[in-house]
Amino acid sequence: MAKSENYKIFEKRLKGMNFKRKRLVLIEQLEMCDEEIMNEKRAIEKELSFFESALDSLEEMDRNIIESNYFEKMSMVKIAQETNYDASVCSRKKVKAVKHLMYLMTGIKED
């Protein structure tokens, strides 16, 4: 029995349905990933905002020490040279600032 043209066209369409099923599963997985990524993005933004507020509560010198040491990976010796403070002073200020940030962000207080 010969297949009609319509039958052949529809058969091709049927063969494409499996591809579409698989593609739909992939799209749904991507949507879940997108949602997870957006949730993570919101959580990071919230944490960074909280951190920036805590950082803003520091004295300017203490904030500069924290940013230079932790974000710019600058040594305490280099920070001391740039600020014209003794390295031991910079180190003490760093410890004090870290403890203050820790208290603000976690509620843990150390003396």
The 10s digit of each residue's pLDDT in 50-107 is: 999 999 999 999 999 999 999 999 999 999 999 999 999 999 999 999 999 999 999 9
Q: What pTM did the predictor assign? A: 0.69
Rounded-to-integer distance, Cα 86 and Cα 74, Å: 15
pLDDT attached to residue 13 = 82
**DSSP alpha helices (H): ranges in the chain?**
5-56, 60-66, 76-83, 87-106
CB-side neighbour CA atoms (13 Å) of 109: 1
- Phi, psi angles (nearest 5°) of residue 85: -110, 160
